[in-house]
Structure 1
Amino acid sequence: MGSRLLQTFIKNKFIWIACLILIGYLLPYYILGENTHIRVHDNLDSNIVWYKLLAETGQIFTLSDTTLPQVINGLPRSALPSAFDAVAWLYVLFEPMTAYTISQTIMRFAAFFGMYLLLTRHVFREAKSPWITVGAALAFAMLPYWPSGALSIAGLPLALHLFLTIRKFGWKTPKYNWVILLVIPFLSNFILSFVFFLAIMGLFWLIDWIRFKKANWSFFTAIASMTGIYLVKNYLVITSMFFNSGFTSHREELSLGHNTFERSVELAWENFLYGHTHDEAHQVLIIIPVIFTALLVAAYSNVKPRKLITLFVFNFCLSVWYAFWYWEGWRIVKDNFMIANTFNFARIHFFDPAVWYICFALALALLWKHLKFGKVLAIVLVVLQCSLVFGLNEENKYSEIDTPTFAEFYSEDLFDEIEAYIGEDQADYRVVSIGMHPTIAQYNGFYTLDTYNNSIPLEYKHDFRDVIEGELDKSPSLKNYFDTWGGRLYMYVAEHGEDYLFTKDRNEPIEQLDINTDALQKLGGDYILSAVPIKNYQELGLEHERTFENNGSPWEIWLYRV
């Protein structure tokens, strides 16, 4: 028995080593817990609180798009994650940081095994060195993905492997492949990426039908089944969009995409070389030079690397499409077709990381086979790329730029002091935040008039704009940001711009705050939680109640009564 286990380990030693490296990558979450530094943008400032809020509301399952009073006097339930979102249930069952850690672990291992299976079973026709297949898969698994996306980006190779397996073996495909395929929707986002993925799978099915004059019904069933699960999962979004005439989202007034042609060209190159903040593949230093080198070696060796060229060009086209979706030339389409204005078709660029690492593996295989000392070079390149992305784990990355840890960001003890000082039930008053993200107050149970969400009632956006109109008028960039998008209903300050992290080490006073306190009172505003002092607070009719700080928090909070 022992010798059999040893043989199994030796046979799969590269996979075991990769798993140990992944565990090392994840260790900061398990060791540091809430003292871990993690991403703020689209994470601490939003999704984590959305999950926590949903877990505490008792409104996880609801047939109608009810409203939640904790946010903006009634945030639509459809603006929060689905009841069929598996990550949401992690936040029901565990504390937020524990749920986050489990989600990260699932994401990383699914990314690794998905890419490994895709490379070994479908990309390469013959066995390749595990240095290439395991190495590329490991690097892919350690990319700095948008954390709350779960398998939305990291799980694409796994999903493609499953679909290609079903396409090849039909109804003879082992049942566990079907099970995994039907689980993926509960851990991923349809609107973000899988709507494009399933559309491409549907196109593959149609092309197969035309080519072979025979429908592959098992493949079709896989596509239909996953699509059906996504539709059920997003039932509240669908009903609110098409059947709830009482709710008009702020997305109806989106006006994104006014870039010049020149700026669009620049953006295409930026995305091609560096990626988007949610799907960085870190391709510019090693991967792209390796691909160009491999293409030169292929040309010299009279080899035609069709897959590599096709995927490389595909990624370039994705970058062009992404950039030009925001080109002003599209306005005629967006202004006349609502879906083009409210749905972001540029998000297909989330395929970028998977495509880059397939290209990386293909390029390494060319160097391995056709270049003298190519094996040694390929191994060195794999080690370098893995080292690069390993160093980008959240604890390393965000501790270096000195953003707050999870515990520091939400500073529960400090906000408990503020709650105790006010001395009322949190449901009986409303607050707004200045110089800090409103989700911090939301995390600590305060009812906020400001927020960051994907969908907000349009009427409320207009009412909230009256509060901050004076500050928006002082900053054309903030005014454009709020009016053309508006997902962040923040107490914008022209002096601050789009900076919302004013800690006690950098909390210079606001010299002249121009907000409409009458409009704030009309919305029900009672208190302002400000991370910086407001010099003209008396002119605004505010009363400075008290300033709060403690050694464990990066914030110093000035509490003003409206």
Structure 2
Amino acid sequence: MPALPGATVAPFRPRNALLVAVAALLLLALAYVAPAGRTYILLDDNLDTELATGYVLVREGKTLDYRPATKVERLLNGLPRNALRPGLQPLVGLQALLPTLPAYLLHELLVRLAGLLSMFWLLRRHLLPAPRHAALGAALALAWAVLPAYTAYGVSVLGQPAVAAVLLHLRRGPARWPYWAVLVGFGLWSSLVLAGVFVLLAGGALLLHAVWLGRYHAARRLALGLAVLASTYLVVEYPLVSALLGGQFVSHRLEFDYRRLVPGGVGAGLLAAARYFLLGHYHSALFVRLAPLLAAGAAALLVPASPGRYRYRRQLAGALVALGGAALFCGFYPQLTAAGQQVLPLLRAFNLSRLHFLLPLAWFALLALSLRQLPAGRSRWALVGLQLLVGLGMNTEWTLNVRRLLGRLPAAEPTYAAYVAPGLFGQVRQAILARTGQAPAAYRVACLGLPPAVATLNNFYTLDAYLNNYPLAYKHAFRPLIAGELAKSPDLATYFDAWGNRCYLFSAELGRNFRVPGTPARTVQHWQFNAAAFRRLGGRYVLSAVRLARPEASGLRLFGSYAAPGAYWHLWVYAAK
């Protein structure tokens, strides 16, 4: 409706724009709502590892028990507690208050809300501060909040804009207590090894730049801010720090062998670098960089000539060179590590290519600065809309829940209820209890064809697990169980010996298929399994998603076959002779 003569059109207030963005995020989150646990959540590197570790810490009451001698009995026959995630992280706290799935979903929503607020704050304070940009900033913050970042890592990615806003403020002048609280909150709610180290390094670069310019007051404020963040990490990540400084165990990571793990040659490195530049990494929000590149090109080529345009071109060139350099470093990092791992063994243990956790924020900053150069109009909104569609479209967790609502969820992507299958595993527990009188704490199991985390979430004590850190001695003790299968498959031998985060029962016939559905049923014809070594580790039962054609040849006997309506798995349980 046109305005009346003499009337003024009220501006779209920043608070109203933010409320609309929050409402839109909550509306999008409704896709996750489902009865009886029939929600889809990410499986790989998420439900098959991250949720199980917090679950066992809570179940054993050891979330804050950081004593060197403390063991988590449900994992690897007594895993050192300090090999697992900190008990102070919010996801673990929510798992102590709620069942696993509601805890995860609430945590996911809180992480994305925090991401939206932090990006809106950065945009309104520094990148898009003009009042006329309020709605644009809110839409861009929504596009940031829906990115396919792994929320099990907290705000490691989506909360970075808040840290950037604080550091930029400290460079300008003194800060009040809420700014310091943001730094403490980020340290509490993010991962030191995944993102924190690189956030601290980026803040250190900002500090050095202030020193270079002679802005010593700003440098002191930045140093204090970084000290607050680092101190918070030292408190929250005490399990990791104490394990490293106290020498509590030798990590299996020291046997990482990048010479065997990565393909050589310049071509492979350039291809990996191109993926990092154009897509990023799936742990830290995998999305096509189409909108930022289009916005940057439009701002550089289509905006009328002006001093501001030339300055922007210089800044754009510097930003693209930096992003390209980061992509090249990440792409060639495995090869660099392979060349230097003998001289510096710690290169195997700590992955510097996780620099990619900073790249999504860098690309969004480039997008915001480019939008600021463009004239108001449909083109800016089209670019933000494009980024929102790209983020949602590549967020497989969200898109698969939409497909579930439409009745079109792929059979290979089970819901939480089908994947964890508590009714099915409850049958197995009850059968073992009825026939032997033993509760799960009295025996140990291992899994074939399904992630051990599924058994863990069903209260079994497993000899196998998917972990980023565990004792090297246990890896060596576990290897004899699967040595026969590794001998049949050079690929699996490299996968375990040169990496080994998946300390699993392997089958050469299955390869790296760690998720074998119950339908159609699958049979492994020849499985070379060292049942004697299994018994020495305390193992009694193999929970298998595949039928063994000749269990006796593996030193096993069939204990029972189990199925349940709605379960993703069919279980064959074999007892070690």
Bin the TM-score by the shorter chain.
over 0.9
Q: What is the letter of the counterpart of residue 57 of structure 2?
A: L
Match of 2:200 in 1: 198
CA contact (8 A) 1:55 1:92 kept: yes
Give me the TM-score of the superposition, normalised by structure 2.
0.90
Deviation at 1:429, TM superposition (A): 0.9
Q: Indicate the SS of the match to 2:375.
A: helix
Rounded Cα–Cα distance in structure 2 between residues aligned with 1:132 and 1:314: 26
**Corresponding residue for residue 397 of structure 2:** 394
1:142 match: 146
SS of residue matched to 2:561: strand
Aligned residue in 2 for 1:461: 475
Equivalent positions of 1:21-100 (< 5 A) are: 21-32=24-35, 34-65=37-68, 66-100=70-104
1:212 and 1:468, CA in 2 relative to 1: closer, same or farther beyond 3 A? Answer: same
Q: Which residue matches 1:177?
A: 179
Partner in structure 1 of residue 6 of structure 2: none
Confirm or deny: 8 A CA contact 2:288 2:390 kept in the other structure: no
Residue by residue over 1:520-557, the C-alpha shift from the partner in whole angstroms, topping out at 9 and shown as x without a partner, is: 12212111111111112122221112111111211100
Cα–Cα, structure 1 residues 212 and 524, in superposed 2: closer, same or farther, change >3 Å? Answer: same
1:509 counterpart residue number = 523
- 1:355 correspondence with 2:369: no
Matched ranges for 1:454-493 at <5 A:
454-493=468-507
Shift in Å, 1:73: 0.9
User: How many positions carry a matched residue from both structures?
Assistant: 547
Q: What secondary structure, in the 3-state scheme, does the structure 2 residue paired with 1:153 have? A: coil
Structure 1 residues 146 and 11: alpha-carbon distance in aligned structure 2, compared to 1, 3 A threshold: closer
Alpha-carbon contact 2:148-2:392 (below 8 Å) kept:
no
Task: Give the drift of 1:267.
Answer: 0.4
**1:283 aligns to what?**
288
SS in 1 for 2:445: strand
TM-score by length of 1: 0.92
Which digits, 9 at most, give the CA deviation of each residue in 1:145-193, with x for residues without a partner?
11211101111111111221222221xx232222222122111111111
CA–CA distance in 2 between the matches of 1:494 and 1:367?
57
**SS at 1:495's partner residue?**
coil
Q: Could you say what secondary structure the match of 2:572 adopts?
A: strand
Question: 1:419: Cα distance to partner?
Answer: 0.1
Structure 1: runs of 5 or more not aligned? 1-6, 370-374
What is the aligned partner in structure 2 of residue 416 from structure 1? Answer: 426
Contact 1:104 1:147 in 2 (8 A): yes
Counterpart in 1 of 2:167?
Answer: 163
Choose the corresponding residue for 2:115, options 98, 111, 117.
111
The residue number in structure 2 matching 1:232 is: 235
Give the percent of matched residue pairs that are identical in Structure 1 and Structure 2. Answer: 28
Is it true that 1:529 corresponds to 2:529 in the alignment? Answer: no
Q: Any idea what the Cα deviations from partners look like across 1:34-54, whole Å, max 9, x if unmatched?
A: 211010011110111111111
Query: Unpaired runs of 5+ in structure 2?
Result: 1-9
1:372-413 deviations in whole A, cap 9, x for unaligned?
Answer: xxx112212222322332343624236544411111111111
CA deviation vs aligned residue, 1:124-147 (integer Å, no higher than 9, x gap)? 464553353222211111001112
Relative to 1, partners in 2 of residues 1:505 and 1:289: Cα closer, same or farther, differing over 3 Å?
farther
Q: What SS does the corresponding residue of 2:573 show, helix, strand or coil?
A: strand
Query: How do 1:286-365 residues align onto structure 2 when only pairs under 5 Å count?
Result: 286-298=291-303, 303-304=309-310, 305=312, 306-327=314-335, 329-365=336-372
My pick for the range that moved more, 42-51 or 312-321, is: 312-321
Q: Please report how far the alpha carbon of residue 428 of structure 1 lies from its aligned counterpart in structure 2 after TM superposition.
A: 0.9
Structure 2: which amino acid aligns with 1:353? P
- Structure 1 Cα separation of the partners of residues 171 and 246 of structure 2: 36
Deviation larger for 551-560 or 251-260 = 251-260
Distance of 2:34 and 2:554 partners within structure 1: 47
Change (3 A) 1:33 1:194: farther
